[in-house]
Chains A and B, each alone.
Chain A
Amino acid sequence: MSSVDFTWLIGGPQGSGVESGANIFSRVCAEMGYQIFGKREFYSNIKGEHSYFTVRIADKKIHSNVNDVNLMASFDAETIFRHYDEVVSGGGIIYDSDIAETKTDAVHTLDMPFKERLHKKLESKNKPFTVAGVLEIAKEKGVLLYPVSFKSILLTLSEETENPRLKGLIRMYNVIGVSLSLGLVKMPPDSLQKTIANIFSKKPEIAKINQQTATYSYNFAATKFENFDCSLPGTQKEPGTLLVQGFQGTALGKMACGCRLQPYYPITPASDESVYLESNEILEIIGDRPGSTAVIQTEDEICAMGMTIGGALTGTRSATCTSGPGFALMTEMLGWAGINEVPIVITAYQRSGPSTGLPTRHGQDDLLFTVFAGHGDFPKIVYASGEIEESFYDTSNCFNYADTFQVPVIHMMDKFHASSVITCKRFDPEKISIDRGLLLDKVEDGYRRFEFTEDGISPRSRLGMDNGIFWNTGDESDEQGHISEDPILRVKMMDKRMSRLELILKRIPNEEQAVSYGIEDYTIISWGSTIGPVKDALDMLKKEGISIGLVQLKLMHPFPAEYVSSLLKDAKTIIDVEANHSGQLGKLFKQNTGRDVDYFILKYTGRAMTSTEVCDALKKIVQNKAEKREVLMHGA
């Protein structure tokens, strides 16, 4: 049996059910045993602008999207205009035949730069500026076209089921698109029915209409669409497989490892995590009364950070979740947490900057900002998760680091994580350990919060603890926490705090600092969500006989210079792959190891890398045809 690697794309105006359509499709495929890697792209808009979802399906573990689309389900003109050329020869486009004559100018959400590029292309091929025009180009390339009138499907259905409401229910278009797709690839229909029943389990009437529509559309495609050379009959399901959204990894990690306070201010793409935490605010505790997470929506990110610190001072594991602009507002308080040795976790879902940038798009723009955030010298940890599965366990590690080193920890995530939907192995809370460091349960007389100790870490009392009184101040302070401007004490206190950076490098296990996937002559350094596409690209290259090494950086600050240098000592050429303009990891690497990066593969279109384009760029490097800085551009 040949291996399955199939990409499906659904698009439509924001608010038309693209996401729920993709959810049904992904769930069906996952139920049938396939591995999923899905990604949502959307505008900063509530209704009307173009959004789309690509779902890659395979019968082995996958870590990214690819360039090629095998089947596109569309119910509007814009999706076809924007994505027709991603569909490969032999692939298919399902579209609404009623819109075939729609002109580009009639689609007001097509922005000028895109329209100009499209018109140029259509002109060069001598095609009209219509849906039919671009479809002709696709057809000439070998794409199979599957026109169907969505309107007449609803009409027929409404007559058959004697339900006049159905006639005008255009919000069923997504289910029609999904079901036509599944019929075309001959996915066993039971799983579709089951998935719809599950999703609408609380609304049986709606479930019924959806199921009727699904059955009809599925059968329509299965019987009327021809020549499509791909079927997805299902495969052996791995037991214990989750279908998760990116933000659920950190959220579930927080629930499991005991984060009990999360103040936050709404910001894309971070708020989903907080909303999910609040939706699950009451927690089951083994052998005890229920626990809970207090999720507090604040007036701004400054308050979110202040409340997080206030909560942490009571001994509560406290975190906030934000993105670049919000983190920018938090930086003054980051220094306060630093000088007062307060353990907090800031989950930072990055997006494209600078300023508001591309607010709903991907970028790893904030590495240098977070590493250098805050005025003055103080210890902190910046930690980056690669894949979503890691983020569950990393979240717990971040809290342990915060507690044991008594420092603020910034846990770097990003938009690619947040809006991906993937299958992965069920998270295992038993693999998590909880280490609260020197947090005290009781205090002896004469307690001093910032007492000088051998390793520079002082036992930590908490607000409200008997005899544990301490003072905090953003000023330099003495051991009790009272303001002091004494020059000698100042040096001792600075040294006490800053010695923590060395301690962090010494005590965090190497494998949590950086992960080596093998060292070769050409070896990649990378971080964050980009690890996914890089891993898949390396697999693709291996099949062509090209071996490239990979070191994934996780502890970004303090930078594990010695360890990473030793890992890379046999690598002759170092390639930095990341999603920003300036190669921020490369800069950090050079600053800390003294070693130059030889090549950069960068992407800052706001869209995540695909493994295809990473693979192509790597090939160019190996063939000595690459620029020092390869910039990737794929994706609508």
Chain B
Amino acid sequence: MALKPAGFKTEVHNDWCPGCGDFGIVNAIQMALADMGVQRDKTAIFSGIGCSGKTSHYINTYGVHTLHGRVLTFAQGAKIANPEMTVVAVGGDGDGLGIGAGHFVAAGRRNVNMTYIIFDNGVYGLTKGQASPTLKLGEKTKSLPSPNTNSNVNPIGLAIASGFTFVARGYSYDIRHLKDLIVQAVKHPGLSFLDVLQPCPTYNDLNTRDWYAGADLMDEAQKRHSRIYKLEETGYEPTVHYDSEVEVNEKLSQALIKSLEWGNKIPTGVFYKNENTTPYTVRLQDKIPNYLENSPAKQTISKDGHPNTDISKILDSLEV
């Protein structure tokens, strides 16, 4: 029987700061899981370190709270060993694009069928607000002693360049839209990436909820002009339909250009989607014909306490 979103909540006390954007994301994940009717015990949430790392404890599925920057490595290992699981990895932008950037790029090349959600707030919250990889050069959030000396990384652009086959951006205060994006991401047959803009009310006093809502952009009639807009409402077409190199390159370039938009207009929605790239599990199946039906996790390895693997042919070939 399909569960309601509440069925995916745990009893664990949530200790995020009041007003934290993370709440919206965890709610959207729970709603998406309920929407898709996934089984709790066939689903695993992997998380990194930091405030976002606690996400896995708040969701009532298998939950693996890993190490800083390393969430994708654990998650891919589990998915490869047991491809029947629904695997969602989450982490902060410092986690995934700073210390974990190497894994981010390598994961894109692999295209393991799973989802990676970055909680993108521009600061390292749990260590009291240092600059994180998405904070812009020269910006000074409130606990920085001086303005940021690094340029920012472009998460959407990096995902596209790395080979992620579904790349989207959500906003943590638009939960319904975010939920829809998560559903699409999880259903995507390949590695999907979601960059979720998530105001940190405690340490990021620049990219606040009001700022995203365009409070500073009020017109003469005192009307706010939200910075956030939805790509799908502009006729933007992210999907690769024909798997031709020309079309793929067009869609990649279009997404890359879109990813550079920032400031008064910030696009959300799906930037790029290509279902034609073979997922890693299928690449394995090409080498190991029964990999999916007899995955590592499914295989029996013993009979009556002894190996059931027959290595005698290999031993014969080594015998003199």
Contact = CB atoms under 8 A, between A and B. Distances in A.
Interface of A: 27, 30-31, 237, 240-244, 248, 252, 255-258, 260-261, 263, 280-294, 296, 298-300, 302-303, 305-311, 313-318, 332-333, 336, 396, 423, 426-427, 429-430, 432-436, 462-475, 481-483
Contact of A473 (B57, B61, B306): B57
Interface residues of B, number: 63
14 contacts: A243-B320, A255-B314, A284-B310, A292-B296, A302-B73, A306-B76, A310-B77, A311-B77, A315-B297, A317-B301, A318-B77, A471-B57, A474-B66, A481-B63
B296 A311 contact: yes
Contact of B75 (A288, A296, A310): A310
B301 A471 contact: no
B143 interface: no
Given A282-B288, A468-B41, A429 B309 contact: yes
- Of A292, A314, A482, which is in contact with the most chain B CB atoms at under 10 Å from its CB? A314
B181 to A, nearest CB: 25
A333 B294 contact: no
Contacts of B49: 474
B122 to A, nearest CB: 25
Contact of A261 (B44, B64, B80, B310): B80
B244 interface: no
B313 interface: yes
Nearest to A251: B314
Interface stretch (B81-89, B196-204, B247-255, B257-265): B81-89
B313 A243 contact: no
B62 A241 contact: no
A314 B42 CA distance: 11
Nearest to A433: B305
Nearest to A317: B301
B12 interface: yes
B106 A299 contact: yes
B73 A303 contact: yes
Given A434-B306, A468-B41, A483 B61 contact: no
Contact of B306 (A302, A305, A430, A474): A430
Contact of A306 (B73, B296, B314): B73
Contact of A314 (B46, B81, B300, B313): B81
B310 A286 contact: yes
A291 B309 contact: yes
B141 interface: no
A315 B302 CA distance: 14
Interface string B37-48: 000111010100
B171 to A, nearest CB: 28
A285 B311 contact: no
B73 A261 contact: no
B297 A258 contact: no
Given A255-B314, A289-B294, A314-B85, 14 more contacts: A252-B311, A256-B311, A258-B301, A260-B299, A293-B296, A310-B79, A310-B80, A311-B81, A318-B81, A434-B306, A435-B305, A471-B56, A474-B65, A474-B67
Contacts of B302: 258, 434, 436
Nearest to A195: B320
B65 A475 contact: yes
B146 interface: no
Contact of A298 (B12, B106, B301): B106
B294 A243 contact: no
Given A292-B290, A463-B85, A471-B64, A257 B307 contact: yes
Contact of B315 (A237, A281, A426): A426
A112 B217 CA distance: 72
B288 A281 contact: yes
Contacts of B313: 284
B301 A434 contact: yes
A106 B315 CA distance: 46
B308 interface: yes
Contacts of A482: 10, 12, 57
Given A302-B73, A474-B49, A483-B54, A261 B81 contact: yes
Contact of A469 (B41, B288, B311): B41
Given A261-B80, A310-B78, A466-B41, A305 B73 contact: yes
A82 B305 CA distance: 52
Nearest to B310: A284
**Main secondary structure on B side of the interface with A:** mixed
Given A284-B309, A432-B306, A483 B294 contact: no
Contacts of A263: 77
Contact of A463 (B44, B105, B305): B44
B223 interface: no
A472 B61 CA distance: 12
A63 to B, nearest CB: 18
A280 B134 CA distance: 44
Contacts of B67: 306, 332-333, 336, 474
A483 B13 CA distance: 10
A473 to B, nearest CB: 4
Given A252-B311, A255-B311, A471-B57, A300 B74 contact: no
Contacts of B2: none
A232 to B, nearest CB: 15
B319 interface: yes
Nearest to B10: A482
Top 5 A-B pairs ranked by shortest CB distance?
A: A306-B73, A258-B301, A310-B77, A307-B77, A299-B106
Contact of B309 (A255, A332, A473): A255
B102 interface: yes
A310 B320 contact: no
A148 B235 CA distance: 81
Contacts of B75: 310
Contact of B296 (A282, A316, A426, A481): A316
A296 B75 CA distance: 14
B41 A472 contact: no
A303 B106 contact: yes
Nearest to B39: A466
Contact of B62 (A296, A303, A430, A463): A463
Contact of B318 (A242, A316, A467, A468): A242
B65 A471 contact: yes
Contacts of A288: 300, 308
A263 B77 CA distance: 8
Of B76, B80, B81, B294, most A-chain CB atoms within 10 Å:
B81
A256 B106 contact: no
B77 A434 contact: no
B319 A310 contact: no
B290 to A, nearest CB: 6
Contacts of A436: 302
Contacts of A465: 41
A472 B81 contact: no
Contacts of B42: 464
Contacts of B294: 289-292
Contacts of A314: 78, 81-82, 85, 296-297
Contacts of B54: 483
A434 to B, nearest CB: 4
A282 B297 CA distance: 15
Given A263-B77, A464-B297, A300 B102 contact: yes
Contact of A291 (B41, B60, B299, B306): B299
B319 A241 contact: yes
A464 B57 contact: no
B291 interface: yes
B78 A429 contact: no
B13 to A, nearest CB: 10
Contacts of A310: 46, 64, 73-81
A307 B74 contact: yes
Which residue, of A280, A396, A463, has the highest number of chain B Cβ atoms within 10 A? A463
Contacts of A311: 77-78, 80-81, 296-297
Contacts of B80: 261, 294, 296, 307, 310-311
A37 B229 CA distance: 71
A392 to B, nearest CB: 10
